[in-house]
Amino acid sequence: MDIFTILISTMFVNNFVLARFLGICPFLGVSNKIETATGMSIAVTFVVTLSSIITYIIQVSILDTLGLEFLQTIVFILVIAALVQFVEMVMKKTSPTLYDALGVYLPLITTNCVVLGVAILNIQEGFNLIQTIFNSAGASIGFGIALVLISGLREQFELADIPEALEGFPITLITAGLMSIAFLGFSGLV
């Protein structure tokens, strides 16, 4: 598979949030404002890409050579957790505003299924290192697109006249469902 196909495929066709339904927690939790959603997307992109590279190297150089593939999940979690901790420290030092805005969702990236999902899928699909980098970057950009899109919509809800029973999460969930259906339109593209 060439790189362009991988990018389009993970960003739109197999969008991790809207087609694979991974990473729903930050999708609903951090999508109140476009600003924080953008910050979260950048943090996730960074963590996903970096963790995919490291997990790929560990998988190929250590786990595959020693025949310890069964350690995949726990080792990957270890890598992700350490990385998120690292990102948190860097962010606290360099951008306290973003650190405060992300709040509890930053540590939650640790247990975010998008990160682990991308890392494991990279191995399952049999990608090489270059493909892995683009696949994970594409996946997290796709995550970012979905997050920014829904946060833009949710900002509009503030002004819209929504029936009382649907205010807040109900309308967000309905919107998320509609967005997911819309993204089905991309299927067959690749």
Partner 1 sequence: MSAIIEPIGILGGLGLLFGIGLSMASQVFHVESDPKVDKIRAALPGVNCGACGYPGCEGLAVGIADGEASVTACSVGGSMVAERIASIMGVAAGEVEKQVAVVLCQGDCEHAEDRYIYHGIEDCRAEDALAGGSKACTYGCLGCGTCQDVCDFDAISIVDGIAIIDREKCTGCELCVAICPKKLIEMVPYEQDVIVKCKSEEAGRFVRRKCTVGCIGCSICVKNCPDDAFIFENLLARIDYDKCTNCGICVEKCPTKSIWSGIEEVEQIAQ
Contact residues: partner 1, CB under 8 A: 58, 62-63, 66, 68, 70-71, 74-75, 78-79, 82, 85-86, 89-90, 92-93, 96
Q: Smallest gap, in angstroms, from Cβ of residue 100 to partner 1?
A: 11
Q: Residue 56 or 183: which CB sits closer to partner 1?
A: 56
Residue 65 CB, nearest approach to partner 1 (Å):
11
Q: How far is the CB of 162 from partner 1 (least distance, A)?
A: 25
Q: Nearer Cβ to partner 1, position 82 or 174?
A: 82
Each as own residue / partner, the long-range contacts of residues 23-29 (CB below 8 Å, 24 or more positions apart, any chain) are 23/112, 23/113, 23/114, 23/117, 23/143, 25/105, 25/108, 25/112, 26/105, 26/108, 26/109, 26/112, 26/147, 27/143, 27/146, 27/147, 27/150, 27/176, 28/169, 28/172, 28/173, 28/176, 29/105, 29/108
* Residue 135 identity: N
- The residue (of 5 and 85) whose beta carbon lies closer to partner 1 is 85
Minimum distance of partner 1 from residue 182's CB (angstroms): 35
Looking at the Cβ atoms of 78 and 173, the one nearer to partner 1 is 78
